[in-house]
């Protein structure tokens, strides 16, 4: 009964805020507001391994989001907040928020951001502060539209400082469109990740003691290539094909296989910089009557983790063999936008989404399936 009451109270508060901000926006058009909610059923939100004797852990997940932005003399400030709650696992509900400032011109943009995740005591090892900044320049050379991007971020974990890190990234991307309604997009990215407070990591897990990492090789550099081909097939029908390749140039990274999966943040569980491999996939988009959008997508990932050994069973660990995963993602969605006021740009977006993830690994604890269905409501005013 308490669960239902708490859920009801949150939804009532969310509705009240929505009404208040709607009234406020009519007298303060210089502010931009967005408020949204997502209601989701997830068959395995924490990516638990499924065996003959252990079932995956399912839960209902409710997410409530709020955003506000205002322009001041050529630059913008913003604030976004998100509260995520679980129907059953209420002791790991959390709040995430971000404050930022950016300036956007026709060919140049810069931004500075601060974000924080606040968890309950049971899940507080996911508490973090993140500071980030970026600059991006757009230009045109040889009838190709280019973008150059530089960014740096610093992550501080209050409970697990060994994972504190900074990431520097440089990216160049270009796109070219043709009269055949074909667009080619490509990008090259260089990432470097360093760990600020690292000490040699030895841990006993499932009765096995071993050294996961040594300080000399934990910092890591990686190169990444992304390619995309988008083609208009028929009126209202489009197809996009994507390819991604990652290669580690030096170091091993500091893998988060030490940390159990949580909902929402993946760096500690599946760090994108501490892995290499490729992915291929595509998305089909179809415009239906009444401006309804239907999307269907599939992606395949082949990933390896040089910094991780493998669990042969729930207790046996072999650090001489690197973990390797194959993952398939399928999703389909249907969405509809309702324009409420063309003068102010206010709109209501509704989306129903379903996706499936199947992860196969040579490491015992990383074999999992996930099925999710969600309904999202986004109000922009």
Question: Residue 180 has what pLDDT?
Answer: 92
Extract the tokens encoding 287: 């415009």
What's the pLDDT band for 370 if we cut at 50, 70, 90?
very high
| Rg, Å, the chain Cα set | 22
For the chain, give the percent of residues with pLDDT over 90.
62
What's the pLDDT band for 28 if we cut at 50, 70, 90?
very low
Q: What is the 8-class DSSP label of residue 30?
A: T
Question: Residue 213 has what pLDDT?
Answer: 57
Question: Residue 311 has what pLDDT?
Answer: 87
What's the pLDDT band for 341 if we cut at 50, 70, 90?
confident
The more confident residue out of 3 and 236 is 236
Question: Residue 82 has what pLDDT?
Answer: 96
What's the pLDDT band for 381 if we cut at 50, 70, 90?
confident
What's the pLDDT band for 51 if we cut at 50, 70, 90?
low
Reply yes or no on whether the pLDDT at 257 is more than 60. no
- Span of 98-112, 196-210, 354-368 with lowest mean pLDDT: 196-210
For the beta carbon of residue 134, count every other beta carbon within 10 angstroms: 17
Average pLDDT over residues 347-364: 95
The more confident residue out of 216 and 289 is 289
Residue-wise pLDDT for 302-316, tens only, equals: 999 988 888 888 888
Question: Comparing C-alpha atoms, which of 48, 46, 20 is closest to residue 33?
Answer: 20
User: In a 3-state reduction of DSSP, which class is residue 71?
Assistant: strand
Reply yes or no on whether the pLDDT at 205 is more than 50. yes
Q: Which residues pair with 209 in a beta bridge?
A: 204
User: In a 3-state reduction of DSSP, which class is residue 267?
Assistant: coil
What's the pLDDT band for 32 if we cut at 50, 70, 90?
confident
Secondary structure string (H, E, C) spanning 133-175:
EEEEEEEEECCEEEEEEEEEEEEEECCCHHHCEEEEEEEEEEE
Q: Which residues pair with 347 in a beta bridge?
A: 339, 380
- Stated as kind and residue range, the H or E segment containing 299 is strand 292-305
What's the pLDDT band for 23 if we cut at 50, 70, 90?
very low
Reply yes or no on whether the pLDDT at 343 is more than 50. yes
Cα 5 to chain centroid, rounded: 31
Average pLDDT over residues 320-337: 95
Residues in the chain: 381
What's the pLDDT band for 160 if we cut at 50, 70, 90?
confident
2-380 is a CATH 3.55.50.30 domain: no
Extract the tokens encoding 113: 């951001």
Question: Residue 300 has what pLDDT?
Answer: 98
Reply yes or no on whether the pLDDT at 194 is more than 80. yes
Reply yes or no on whether the pLDDT at 128 is more than 80. yes
Structural domain boundaries in the chain: 2-380
Average pLDDT over residues 42-57: 74
Q: Which residues pair with 221 in a beta bridge?
A: 192, 250
Q: Which residues pair with 190 in a beta bridge?
A: 170, 223
- Stated as kind and residue range, the H or E segment containing 371 is strand 368-380
Asked if residues 3 and 349 have their Cβ atoms less than 8 Å apart, the reply is no
Average pLDDT over residues 108-128: 93
State the Cα–Cα distance between residues 350 and 375, nearest whole angstrom: 8
Reply yes or no on whether the pLDDT at 380 is more than 60. yes
Residue-wise pLDDT for 287-304, tens only, equals: 999 999 999 999 999 999
Residue-wise pLDDT for 53-95, tens only, equals: 455 689 999 999 999 999 888 889 999 999 999 999 899 999 9
């Amino acid at each position: 009964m308490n669960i239902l009451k708490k859920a009801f109270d949150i939804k009532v508060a969310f509705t009240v805020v929505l009404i208040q901000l709607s009234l406020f926006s009519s007298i303060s058009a210089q502010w931009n507001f967005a408020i949204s909610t997502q209601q989701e059923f997830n068959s395995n939100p924490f990516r638990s391994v499924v065996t003959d004797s252990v079932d995956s852990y399912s839960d209902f997940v409710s997410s409530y989001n709020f955003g506000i932005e205002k322009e001041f003399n050529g630059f913008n400030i913003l604030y976004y907040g998100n509260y995520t709650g679980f129907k059953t696992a209420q002791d790991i509900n959390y709040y995430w928020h971000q404050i930022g400032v950016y300036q956007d011109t026709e060919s140049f943009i810069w931004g500075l951001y601060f974000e924080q995740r606040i968890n309950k005591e049971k899940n507080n090892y996911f508490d973090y502060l993140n500071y980030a900044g970026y600059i991006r320049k757009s230009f045109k050379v040889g009838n190709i539209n280019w973008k150059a991007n530089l960014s740096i971020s610093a992550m501080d974990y209050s409970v697990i400082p060994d994972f504190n890190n900074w990431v520097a990234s440089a990216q160049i991307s270009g796109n070219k469109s043709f009269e055949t309604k074909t667009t080619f997009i490509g990008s090259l990215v260089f990432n470097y990740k360093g760990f600020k407070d690292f000490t040699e990591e030895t841990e006993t897990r499932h009765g096995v003691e071993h050294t996961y990492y040594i300080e000399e090789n934990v910092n890591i550099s990686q190169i990444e290539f992304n390619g995309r081909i988008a083609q208009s097939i028929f009126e209202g029908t489009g197809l996009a094909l994507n390819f991604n390749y990652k290669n580690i140039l030096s170091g091993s990274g500091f893998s988060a296989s030490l940390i159990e999966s949580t909902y929402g943040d993946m760096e500690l569980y599946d760090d994108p910089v501490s892995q290499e491999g490729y992915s291929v996939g595509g998305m089909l988009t179809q415009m239906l009557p009444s401006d309804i959008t239907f999307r269907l997508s599939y992606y395949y990932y082949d990933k390896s983790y040089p910094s991780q050994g493998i669990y042969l069973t729930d207790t046996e660990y072999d650090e001489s063999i690197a973990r390797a995963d194959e993952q398939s993602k399928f999703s389909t969605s249907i969405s509809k936008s309702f324009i409420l006021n063309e003068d102010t740009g206010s709109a209501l977006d509704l989306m129903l989404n379903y996706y499936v993830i199947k992860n196969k690994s040579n490491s015992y604890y990383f074999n999992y399936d996930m099925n999710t269905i969600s309904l999202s409501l986004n109000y922009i005013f």
